[in-house]
């Protein structure tokens, strides 16, 4: 029996589309956002760029950029629907390297927020117009 006939006979391994898996595990807010990330080349499975219809299986390593941080996780299970966050967190395991990158990025952002100058009082109408002009919004 060849591989194709085994799969038709029911000996197939569990799999799901990567865009659906990312949405079901709550790593993206909507399925269209997850599909855009995959088609935009930001999502890799086992180090390879994939399409939105690519199958993901338990044991695969999924890597994608989340803002400025690279998120890396191993697929543990395949959910059948988008359920509560507690159930979604069981479906993947974040790698220690990814956890360290996120913690380091959070610490840098905290320091940057502390060093950002804050005005003593809220800007008045004149100051708000000047800020908008400086930011190129007017």
Q: Is 3 left (phi over 0), alpha (psi -120 to 50) or beta?
A: alpha
Domains of the chain and any CATH numbers: 3-135 (3.10.290.10)
pTM: 0.75
Residue with tokens 């117009």: 129
Residue pLDDT tens, the chain, 138 long: 444 444 444 556 688 999 999 999 999 999 999 999 999 999 999 999 999 999 999 999 999 998 889 999 999 999 999 999 999 999 999 999 999 999 999 999 999 988 988 888 999 999 999 989 998 876
């Amino acid at each position: 029996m060849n591989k194709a006939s085994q799969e038709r006979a029911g000996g197939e391994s569990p799999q799901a589309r990567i865009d659906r898996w990312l949405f079901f595990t709550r790593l993206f807010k909507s399925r269209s956002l997850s599909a855009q990330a995959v088609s935009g080349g930001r999502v890799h499975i086992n180090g390879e760029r994939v399409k939105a219809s690519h199958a993901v299986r338990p044991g695969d390593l999924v890597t994608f950029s989340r803002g400025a941080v690279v998120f890396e996780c191993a697929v543990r299970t395949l959910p059948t629907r988008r359920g509560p966050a507690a159930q979604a967190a069981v479906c993947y395991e974040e790698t220690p390297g990814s956890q360290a990158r996120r913690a380091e990025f959070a610490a840098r952002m905290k320091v940057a927020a502390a060093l950002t100058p804050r005005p003593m009082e809220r800007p008045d109408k004149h100051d708000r117009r000047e800020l908008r002009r400086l930011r190129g919004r007017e």
